[in-house]
Amino acid sequence: MADQSRPIFCPACHGEGASLSSQSESVQLSVTALTAEVAALFADAGLSSAGAQRIAGALIEAEQQGLKSHGLMHAPVYLERMRKGSVSTHDRAEMVSDHGAVAVLDARHMLGHLAAEQAMALAIEKASRFGIGAVAVRHGFHFGAAGRYVAQAAQAGMVGIAMSNTRPLMPAPGGAEAVVGNNPIAIAIPTADEPMVVVDVAMSEGALGRIRHHHQRGEPIPGNWAVTAEGLPTTSAADAIKGLLLPTGGPKGFALAMAIDMACGLLSGGAVGSEINALYGDTSKPNDCAFLFLALNPQAFGADDLPQRARAQREHIRKARRAPNTAAIRTPGEMKWRTAATQQETVQIDRSTLTALRACAIPIDTLAVSHGGERP
């Protein structure tokens, strides 16, 4: 058990590589020490040692890639949900059905990162045998960045596709009520060298996690990200959290979000639309989202040279003629890869995130975590 009497991530406890200035916006921490501290919190909440290490690694990986909106800022609510029972302490999803290249898993409301890793690993294994693997998951929970799981497939030489539904956050075109989530979809293409091509997009113009991140830092949001609960334009992150997200690409983004919602929820036998509960709502109620993962084996398509051709196309795009004042052309996933390369030993964590994590180390009966004002 971790010592609940002291705050986590104290710079004095980490020696070199951990520094916190009263004037700084972030603290630099050892990745090794940070992983151990975060894992201890999840183990204290009842997760297995192996599961705790995996969730800590997943959250810190997002931080290393600069995806703070998908990283440690969510750890407090994950932990609170585990202590309230809406997130289970299971570290393996159960097989519901298995038919050749297709399977359905029941995540049993476990941490989404762990269920997603398991599901994509199963899809990869099936693709190695059948050329394609498709795994749907019901009774899931927030799984962070979808790009993490398609990268898992690409690292195995497969084309990976991942998607998830979420609770309704966006209105239909012309509507004033949230009817569909900003449901993310990710696709990864293996390349002969790094960086692989990783597309990871949510169907809203601005992800809710990014809006929460802006709110946490007291920063305004762009005007095309959201509207208020009354449907009025806003740059206030607090009003956006209480209001409605706007779909990217207007009707096109809404249509794709609706299709992802149905594909995930209906194929898995899980929840769709308003049947899904808010991540930051009533933390005693399961989130209950659904996932869908696909792995495609290039060899089964006769495309043994896919990684080499993908690399050539990536480089062709990167070397394309640039518009004035453009320093470089980047391909999808490249910036995350470059950011992570600079944060292998130490990682910068926002001080506001650090403060929230420290609150998790106090006794459970006095735990009080702020949820950014969202009470949908």
Query: Do the domains spanning 11-87+341-366 and 94-213+248-301 agree at the CATH topology level?
Result: no
- Decide yes or no: CATH 3.30.1370.60 for domain 94-213+248-301: yes
> What tens-digit pLDDT sequence spans the chain (376 residues)?
333 333 333 332 333 333 333 334 889 999 999 999 999 999 999 999 999 999 999 999 999 999 998 999 999 999 999 999 999 999 999 999 999 999 999 999 999 999 999 999 999 999 999 999 999 999 999 999 999 999 999 999 999 999 999 999 998 987 889 999 999 999 999 999 999 999 999 999 987 778 988 998 899 999 999 999 888 889 999 999 999 999 999 899 999 999 999 999 999 999 999 999 999 999 999 999 999 999 999 999 999 999 999 999 999 999 999 999 999 999 999 999 999 999 999 999 998 898 888 788 744 333 333 333 332 3
Out of 3.40.50.300, 1.10.1530.10, 3.30.565.10, 3.40.50.11540, the CATH code matching 11-87+341-366 is 1.10.1530.10
User: CB burial class (10 A; 0-12, 13-18, 19+) of residue 130?
Assistant: middle
Every domain of the chain and the residues it spans: 11-87+341-366, 94-213+248-301, 214-246
Whole-angstrom Cα distance, residue 144 to residue 63? 11
> What's the predicted TM-score (pTM) here?
0.86
DSSP 3-state of 94: strand
Spatial distance between the Cα atoms of 169 and 204, rounded to a whole number of angstroms: 9
- Nearest partner of 157 among 298, 313, 331, 332, judged by Cα: 298
DSSP string, 152-211: HHHHTT-EEEEEE--S--EEPTT-SSEEE----EEEEE--SSSSPEEEEE-SBSS-HHHH
